[in-house]
Structures are given as structure tokens and as C-alpha cells.
Amino acid sequence: MASELTYRRHESQAQSDTYLPKPPKPFLPVTRAIRYMLREQRLLFVLLGIAIATVIFVLIPSSSSSRQFTGSYDSIPAQYFPNSDSSTRLSEKFVYEQRSVNSGGKIPLGLRRKGLRIVVTGGAGFVGSHLVDRLMERGDSVIVVDNFFTGRKENVMHHFGNPRFEMIRHDVVEPLLLEVDQIYHLACPASPVHYKFNPTNVVGTLNMLGLAKRVGARFLLTSTSEVYGDPLQHPQVETYWGNVNPIGVRSCYDEGKRTAETLAMDYHRGAGVEVRIARIFNTYGPRMCIDDGRVVSNFVAQALRKEPLTVYGDGKQTRSFQYVSDLVEGLMRLMEGEHVGPFNLGNPGEFTMLELAQVWHHLVGKPRVRFEPTASVVQETIDPNAKIEFRANTEDDPHKRKPDITKAKEQLGWEPKVALRKGLPLMVTDFRQRIFGDHKEGSSSTSGVVSNS
């Protein structure tokens, strides 16, 4: 038995010693790949494909997929733009256009431009809707965010159906998540009637700055000349800190905008957000809210309804009025430029309230009467049937308001072009149609170069 086991053990060892497997070849994967490429001329087809792709990328222009900056403005009503050269307002004045906010690259004027994705808060409002018109005509994709507190769908309905236009009913006091390149933050009631009822400056601005930080968008804040309060400096320059009553009836707007500017600069310095700040002075034009308590809209509505023109105080307080198309151009130049601001955007032409009342009377009542911009001739030129009704002045009403726009001229190349007497008839036509439903009135569009008011 023992010998048999011994023999089987030796036999097993002998068999195991005779098993010699083949060693693996170190370059087997490489040789297999080479044989595969050479088989049936596959290598030739690979090289041919590379050559075709190279020819396509080299010969086909890389700009074929980008949008062209047309600047036609055909879809905007002509009567809203009194300048004779309105078709070249923005496109022929920009020396450079920003291709993309994140890329930081610029291309010379005349070359094709990539459309941006832009959100306009308050885009259904007076100024916002005119801004949306210009952005859409430029070829951008626009998202309007509005809660319709003062905005109207009618202001942007002509863009419905355009694939580059979107509208969201939303209040900016609630957070919003979007993917955009630029943010124009206009959402805030601007008239005393509205902002005393619903102040939204601080929270809305904070939410939109948070959005700009998350997605890396450039942010433009529309501040106001109200940050100067009842100014002790005249005219007002951007370095003036203002004279504001922090607990007055207007403080929710005045101090709210001042706080919004502070937040914008803090996000700029602390979080690297690209911000732009515009301080807007009195603006007028089509699509203004009727009876919103502001002097311009009050006068035109009262004059059209044959009501007394309401003048608060002695009527000697002054304001400066710019047409909405001038403001929109200034906002776009500021957004596309490289300067943070703040910038005064307004018309340095200065009028007292009595002078403005006289202008309204000429436009609505007796348009052929020659206008003299002095308070001493008001009673002489007003129709005997027209009346000026004086009322007690409102609290903290500024006595003087006039922008110094030297900074905007030098750094943005911007200044207003539409004179008051050219812009007011356009607003009168719009108000007449909205108040009386009169669509038979002729267009008030004018031709020729327009001087500053």
C-alpha cells in the first residue's frame, strides 16, 4: 500500500513538471490594433475622415452661427422715436460690442455679434418695455420678470410669439433662479403713489444680486436722482452724497435706493459681481402710467381731460426731463461699457413746474402759441378757460433737481438728444389714445436733427 501511494505521488509530480504554459506577449494589444487598422484599408478611411474634418473647420467661417447686429428697430412704433436717424441710434454709436459677459472679449463695430440672454425685471413697465424693444431688435434673448403692479402686458404684447422672448409673472421680493448673461434690474415702483404703497427696493435688489453672483451675470441697477434728496448742491454730481430725510414719507424710496447702491457695491467688492449703477432723473414718454402722481403724467392727463393743472407749492421748484429713448440708450451704453458708475442719466435742461404747465397747455390747447420758457409769461399764454390749481406742497419735495452729466459724456459718450418740445407731443398722442381710445390721431414722429432741451 505504501509503495503504491509513493508511486502515485511521484507520478503526479512528474506530470506537473511537464506543464509549461506560453508566456504572455507584451505587445499583443498594440499589434492587434495595428493589424485591425491595416485590414481592409481602415487606416486610409481614418486619415481621410481627419482630412475632411480639418477642411470643414478651416474653410467654413466661424461666424456663420452667430447673430448679426442689425439695429433695424422696425417693430417699434416710429412715433416713439423723434430722432430722424433713429435706425442708427445704438448700432452706429457703439465703437465696440461685448461678445459675452463671461468671455470679456470685444469685437469691432460691424462684425457679427453673439446674442445674449438677458433678464429685465420690471420689463413690462414704462422704461422696461422700451428697453426690451431695443434688446429684442439687437438680437438678444430677453426674459421679462414683472408682477404687473405698475407694468402692463400691453406694453410687451407685440413680442408674444417671438422665440427669443419670455415673460414670467413674478415678484422680485421672492428668489428667482435663471441662467442669464446680463440683468437689468428695473423692478421698483417709481412714483410716490406706488412706492409709498409697496416699497421693494432692498429685498428685490438683494435677490437679483444673489442671482448675478450665482450665474456670473453682469448686473445693472437703476437707481434714482432721489438719492440726492433735497440737494444743497446744484447741479448734482455723482460725488455728492445728498441731503435725505431718513424718516420722511419719501424715505422708503430715497433710502431704499441708497441702500440698493450700497448692496451693489458690496457685492462688487466682496463677491466680484460685475455691477453698473445708473441714477435716473425724471423721464417721460409713451407708456407712462396714467395718474401715477408724477408731474409729467399728471399734467398731460389733466390737460387732455380739460381739468385744472395741479401745481404743488409755488410752482418754482425745478425738474429736468429726459425722453425715454435717451434713457434707454444710456442704460445700454452703461451695461456694455467698462465703468461701474454711478452715472447721472438725465437731461440738464431745467424747468419750473409753472413752465412745464405752460408747455402742456401749448401742446394740448393752443399749439401755435410761441413758447417762452419763463414763469413771467405763463398767465399771458394760457387759454382763458384753462386754470392752474395750486395746492400745498408735499413733504420733503426737492426744490431743485438738475443732473451734471459730464461723467456720462466723457466715459460713456452719452448725452440726451430729444428736446422737451419734441418728446412731449409723442406722449400726448399716446395718452390721448389710451384715455379716449382715439386711434385716428396722426403720428407725431418728426424728422431732422433734434437739439437738447
**Parallel, antiparallel, or unpaired: how do β-strands 165-169 and 141-146 relate?**
parallel
How many helices and strands (H and E) does the chain possess? 13, 15
Distance CA(185)–CA(125), nearest Å, equals 12
Distance CA(299)–CA(311), nearest Å, equals 9
Q: What are phi and psi of 316, to 5 degrees?
A: -95, -5
Distance CA(251)–CA(246), nearest Å, equals 5
Look at residue 343 and give its three-state secondary structure.
Answer: strand
For residue 228, indicate whether it is catalytic.
no
DSSP 373: -
List the beta bridge partners of residue 183: 119, 219
Q: Render 93-143 in DSSP notation, one character per residue.
A: T-SEEES-TTT--EEETTS-BPPPEEEEETTTSHHHHHHHHHHHHHT-EEE
Q: Select which of 184, 195, 228, 253 is catalytic.
A: 253
Cβ count within 10 A of residue 140: 21
Distance CA(23)–CA(131), nearest Å, equals 77
* Residue of 263, 286, 400, 409 lying closest to 344 (CA atoms): 409
List the catalytic residues.
253
